[in-house]
Amino acid sequence: MTDPDAPIIEVEELWRSYEVGDQILHALKGVSVSIPAGDYVAVMGPSGSGKSTLLNLLGCLDQPSRGTYRLEGRQVGTLSDDELSDVRRHQIGFVFQSFHLIPRLAADENVALPLVLDGVEPEERAERVAVALEAVGLSHRAKHRPSELSGGECQRVAIARATVMRPRLLLADEPTGNLDSASGRQILELLESMNDAGLTLIVVTHDVNVGRRARRVLVLRDGEIEHRVPGRELAPEMLLADPAEATA
């Protein structure tokens, strides 16, 4: 039985390395972090610092070269492909910068996709899709296709799809990157309301203003965690590609 007080995420000495020609590239170098259930974490850093690599590992989309990752007490490295698929389907929701909606499907059909893949019966499926769309304020746009929706509305549909399976962990990769400031603020407020309701939220962002909204921030550089600070204490110079620029 999973300990209800245990962290939802425990990462110890996580490495991810790639062979590039005859060279070994270390995208992550011994990252360790513990994230309590219900936390709100921003992952930041300059380009190439390892943000997306870490998010892919946390989302079970990739496997570490070495180190351990426990998700709700389960050692991810010991899970079979079928078990990993089940984890991605039921425990983790994903939100991306580019929405990843299927153009030919209406909003409600896009939201229903995870339920269809999971074999949920049509009646329950319709009920859960309706609840998910209502939660993001788009009940009135259920039959509209992505081309008929604004960018902010498309991202709301994507959030509804990511949460329709009722995951405990939501991973968002630059969720406001393709939106204007007003739409981006609305999306963050929506995600934060879900976090307030108990959903663990991890956001990869390059935006200092987004990072400052998080409960805490992990700043990566060259595959390592360089800073661990409360969101309100995030300073722009922490994100510079060359730390020497801060004192130049």
120-147 pLDDT, tens digit each: 999 999 999 999 999 999 999 999 999 9
Whether 155 contacts 179, CB under 8 Å: yes
Surface-to-core class of residue 66, CB atoms within 10 Å of its CB (0-12 exposed, 13-18 middle, 19+ buried): exposed
Is the confidence at residue 245, as pLDDT, over 70? no
Q: Are 137 and 156 in contact (CB under 8 A)?
A: yes
pLDDT at 77 over 70: yes
Residue 1 has pLDDT above 50, yes or no: no
What integer pLDDT is reported at residue 113 of this predicted model?
96
Decide which of 178 and 158 is more confident: 158
Mean pLDDT, the chain, integer:
92
Asked if the model's pLDDT at residue 2 lies above 50, the reply is no
Residue 246 to residue 169: CA distance in whole angstroms: 35
- Average the pLDDT over 112-126 and give the result: 95
Is the pLDDT score of 61 beyond 60? Answer: yes
Question: Which distant-in-sequence residues (6+ apart) come within 8 Å of 190 by Cβ?
Answer: 136, 137, 156, 159
- Where in the chain are the domains? 100-166
Cα 242 from Cα 213, distance rounded (Å):
24
> Residue 150 in contact with residue 70, Cβ under 8 Å?
no
At residue 4 the predicted structure's pLDDT band, cuts being 50, 70 and 90, is low
pLDDT at 78 over 80: yes
Q: What percent of the chain has pLDDT over 90?
A: 87
Label the pairing between strands 66-71 and 40-44: unpaired
Residue 191 and residue 15: Cα distance in Å, rounded?
Answer: 29
Per the listing, tokens 């922490």 go with 238
Q: What angle do CA 196, 55, 230 make, to 5 degrees?
A: 50
pTM, 2 dp: 0.92
Helices (H), 164-227: 181-196, 208-211
Q: Residue 50: its pLDDT value, please?
A: 93
